[in-house]
Amino acid sequence: MAKTKIESDHGLNVRMFLTGLGLVALYAIIVSVMLSLGVSVVFVVVIAGAMIFCQYYFSDKIAMFAMHAHEVTPQQEPRLHQIVDRLCLLANMEKPRVGVSEMDMPNAFATGRNPNHAVICATRGIMQRLNDEELEAVLAHELSHVAHRDVAVMTIASGVGMLAGLVSRIALFGAMFGGGGGRGRGGQNIVLLEMATMLISIIIYFIAFLLTMALSRYRELAADRSGAILIGKPSVLASALVHVTGDIGKIPRTDLRKSEGMNAFFFAPALAPGTAANLFSTHPTLERRLDQLNKLEKELNG
Amino acid sequence: MGLRDTLFGRTKQVAPNLDNLFALSAAALTLESELDLVTSGQGGLCFKAGSGESTITTDDDIKQLLDFDETNNKVTLSTDDLGFKWLVVSDPDLEALITRIHAADTSMVEHGLGPRLLCAVFGFVPKSPPGEGPVRLVYLMKQGTFYPFAPTGATQRNNELELRVRSFLSTDLPIEKDLTRWMALWNLPVN
């Protein structure tokens, strides 16, 4: 991050640090709870560690697979490669691999365990919806994620939440089978204690989840900021955001006559659309992002 | 679909909803006053011709069914590259256009072709060209809702304009609320 020309924002750094601190404090609580329970610490740590490591190490493959994306050569996607080339020169970054997902949903993502193994990927939908300048802004945002090593940061952050989840599951198991016999003096007390531990773990898991989401939103804002500074035009990123989120992002490019499963003919909605409100979002609201970009635009012009 | 239909894997054919078509004439006034859009004089009906459905399989059958009047050259029947049939009606008067499309719909429903109907499309163009480009109002037969479609290129559409059309017409027309159903119709034969 130090060698790249993407500037940092102090307020954002402080908030991110505090969020991280909250996560570390939670980690300490979890470990002490676990030790008081007497579970095999080694076992828990090995399992959790292995899972987190896989998630981290294969992040590029997992994300590409989930998004039906494949890597493309400069011959296949000259426009995308040209834009990424230019941006990497601007930011003095190593060029990541470039991928395309054939989905119509407008989206772009960057993944990979470190800048050397990074993949930057755009969906067909976003490439059709945006003009070159807007696409450049979106890719600058994604390159900032690579420069900020966001995959590593978010893996560590979510790892803590996962650990909390593990503890609560072990506690649940213990509560059901462990103290069941009621042998000895404290049989009843142990059951109660384990029930309490379980409840606490669930609350911890929930808080850890909220904190992880908050951290993710800060990382998004940081990437917005860095990306906007890199291209020098926050307003272009703002316009790209308007074009891919909200109502406009939902309007498909797919032809009615080709619509999957002939929905238009046999109409029976499986899920009511738009009912699942995104309470725990990984991204900040559009207003918040536009607000930040607006301020940035003023700063750059002022 | 009921539980029994789910258990036995049966899909009921859905009858089209034609009632809301006539709401379009009121909406046309709003379109003209607010967005400067007037009818292009063309409307179309899109359906999938199937095989073995009663006896109506060929273009001739359909023409007979719809009381085709080829002398005035106002109605054409064509098949697009995706295998869908288009009945395109030309008439400078929107009311007459809607009536003719509705009549064609009704006659297809009477002959058991209702479930085959996909959509009806009505063209609107700027009163003083170039304006903001043409807009088509698509009527989804099964849902009974309208949505705007404003293509600007081979696979490009003007979403801002479409959303603006929605904001003006939402009181006049039953506009499709689920934006993911605002499917594109590239290469329309309806202008």
**Any idea what the Cα angle at residue B116 is, between residues B115 and B122, rounded to 5°?**
110
The yes/no answer to whether this complex scores an ipTM above 0.95 is: no
pLDDT higher than 80, residue A47: no
How far apart (Å, rounded) are the C-alpha atoms in residues B145 and B125?
21
Amino acid identity for residue B132 in this structure: E
More confident residue, A268 or B159: B159
pLDDT higher than 50, residue A277: no
In a domain, B18, yes or no: yes
Nearby residues of B12 by Cβ (< 8 Å), 6 or more positions away: B1, B5
pLDDT higher than 90, residue A98: yes
The total domain count for chain B is 1
- Between positions 196 and 255 of A, the ones with CB within 8 A of B are 243, 247-248, 250-255
In a domain, B5, yes or no: no
Amino acid identity for residue B123 in this structure: G
Q: Does B115 contact A at CB distance below 8 Å?
A: yes
**Token code pair at residue A159:** 């790892």
pLDDT higher than 50, residue A182: no
pLDDT at B67: 63
Cβ distance A115 to A109 under 8 Å? no
Express as a percent the part of chain A with pLDDT over 90: 12
More confident residue, B114 or A98: A98
How far apart (Å, rounded) are the C-alpha atoms in residues A92 and A276?
41
pLDDT at A41: 60
Domain coverage including residue B153: 13-181
Whether B159 and A268 lie within 8 Å, measured CB to CB: no
pLDDT at A268: 36
Query: Shortest Cα distance from B144 to chain A (angstroms)?
Result: 11
In a domain, B32, yes or no: yes
- Nearest CB partner across the interface for A252, out of B11, B46, B182: B182
pLDDT in tens, A197-212: 767 777 777 787 788 8
Alpha carbon distances (Å) from B38 to A237, B42, B88, B186: 35, 11, 18, 21
More confident residue, A25 or A219: A219
pLDDT at A264: 40
Q: What is the mean pLDDT of residues A272-288?
A: 55
Question: Which of chain B's residues have a Cβ under 8 Å away from the Cβ of A267?
Answer: 14, 142-143
Q: What is the mean pLDDT of residues A157-180?
A: 63
How far apart (Å, rounded) are the C-alpha atoms in residues A215 and A17?
9
How far apart (Å, rounded) are the C-alpha atoms in residues A87 and A108?
15
Q: Is the pTM of this model over 0.90?
A: no
A142 tagged catalytic: yes
Nearest chain B Cα to A268, which residue?
B1
Whether B1 and A248 lie within 8 Å, measured CB to CB: no
**Any idea what the Cα angle at residue B27 is, between residues B24 and B31, rounded to 5°?**
125
Whether B157 and A243 lie within 8 Å, measured CB to CB: no
Query: Shortest Cα distance from B62 to chain A (angstroms)?
Result: 20
> B39: closest CA among B100, B101, B97, B118?
B97
Q: What is the mean pLDDT of residues A124-149?
A: 89
Sheet holding B37-47, edge to edge: B75-79, B85-90, B37-47, B117-126, B135-140, B145-149
In a domain, B6, yes or no: no
Whether A253 and B11 lie within 8 Å, measured CB to CB: no
In a domain, B132, yes or no: yes
Nearby residues of A50 by Cβ (< 8 Å), 6 or more positions away: none
pLDDT at A44: 66
pLDDT at A57: 81
In a domain, B8, yes or no: no
Nearby residues of A294 by Cβ (< 8 Å), 6 or more positions away: A234, A238
In a domain, B189, yes or no: no
More confident residue, A92 or A175: A92
> B148: closest CA among B134, B129, B164, B162?
B162
pLDDT higher than 60, residue A273: no
pLDDT at B82: 83
Question: Which parts of chain B register pLDDT below 70?
Answer: 1-2, 10-14, 50-62, 64-73
Backbone angles phi, psi at A204, to 5 degrees: -60, -45
Helix H or strand E segment including B21 = none
pLDDT in tens, A102-118: 887 788 888 888 888 88
Q: Does B10 contact A at CB distance below 8 Å?
A: no
Q: Which residue of the set A134, A136, A142, A194 is catalytic?
A: A142
